[in-house]
């Protein structure tokens, strides 16, 4: 039997270490049991990082979402131009579902998106209404894929302007 005094520990210190170890052993179980509302899929664009956080806070999702940022947001999940991003999106949906039991995926695209320009080239719709329609078409493709892969997950799709305001598109 180990005597704490022999090792220079008081009973209080020994008890503290024992309780600390017990508490640490419970952490993985607690983390695995976490349930949060959503997975947020956003674009990588540096211009909107802070606006994106404020957006999700305004949806009352502070500390209630996992986040994946990939160029193009919804486009990353469905465009044949970005196959590695496609895989990453769906891998992270699966991980968030498994680890945090998410109930929905919230996608936040933005205007003047470079990934849309890469994917659509000259077909990129820069005019406001045409750009909205282009994003909506991709968002609907993403929504269809999501329903096929995860019929139990809900979805919401938003389009953010460069001034940080956002509108729900789907």
> Do residues 166 and 158 touch, judged by C-beta distance below 8 A?
yes
Average pLDDT over every residue of 4-9: 54
- What's residue 33's pLDDT? 60
Mean pLDDT of the chain: 88
Considering only 30-44, 45-59, 124-138, which range has the smallest mean pLDDT?
A: 30-44
pLDDT-derived band at 18, boundaries 50, 70, 90? very low
Rounded-to-integer distance, Cα 154 and Cα 170, Å: 11
- What's residue 21's pLDDT? 46
Specify the length of the chain in residues: 170
**Percent of the chain predicted with pLDDT > 70:** 81
* CA 26 to chain CA centroid, nearest Å: 26
Domain ranges for the chain: 1-33, 34-168
The predicted-structure confidence for 157-170, as pLDDT tens digits, reads as follows 999 999 999 999 99
> What are the strands of the beta sheet with 104-110, ordered from one edge?
65-69, 38-42, 104-110, 154-160, 166-168
pTM as predicted: 0.81
- What's residue 14's pLDDT? 44
The predicted-structure confidence for 19-50, as pLDDT tens digits, reads as follows 444 444 444 544 556 899 999 999 999 999 99
Q: Distances from the Cα of 6 to the Cαs of 16, 19, 67, in angstroms?
A: 17, 20, 50
CATH fold label, 34-168: Beta-carbonic Anhydrase; Chain A (3.40.1050)
**Percent of the chain predicted with pLDDT > 90:** 80
Rounded-to-integer distance, Cα 146 and Cα 157, Å: 12
pLDDT-derived band at 108, boundaries 50, 70, 90? very high
The residue written with tokens 């789907």 in the block is 170
């Amino acid at each position: 039997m180990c005597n704490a005094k022999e090792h220079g520990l008081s009973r209080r210190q020994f008890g503290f270490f024992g309780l600390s170890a017990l508490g640490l052993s419970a952490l993985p179980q607690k983390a695995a049991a976490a349930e949060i509302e959503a997975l947020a899929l956003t674009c990588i664009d540096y211009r909107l990082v802070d606006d994106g956080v404020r957006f999700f806070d305004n949806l009352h999702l502070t500390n209630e979402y996992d986040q994946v940022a990939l160029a193009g947001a919804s486009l990353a999940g469905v465009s044949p131009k970005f196959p590695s991003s496609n895989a990453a999106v769906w891998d992270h949906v699966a991980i968030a579902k498994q680890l945090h039991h998410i109930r929905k995926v919230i996608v936040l695209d933005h205007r003047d998106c470079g990934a849309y320009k890469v994917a659509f080239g000259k077909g990129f719709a820069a005019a406001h209404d045409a750009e909205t329609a282009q994003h909506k078409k991709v968002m609907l493709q993403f929504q269809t894929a999501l329903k096929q892969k995860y019929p139990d997950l809900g979805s919401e799709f938003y389009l953010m302007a460069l001034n940080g305001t956002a509108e729900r598109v789907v």
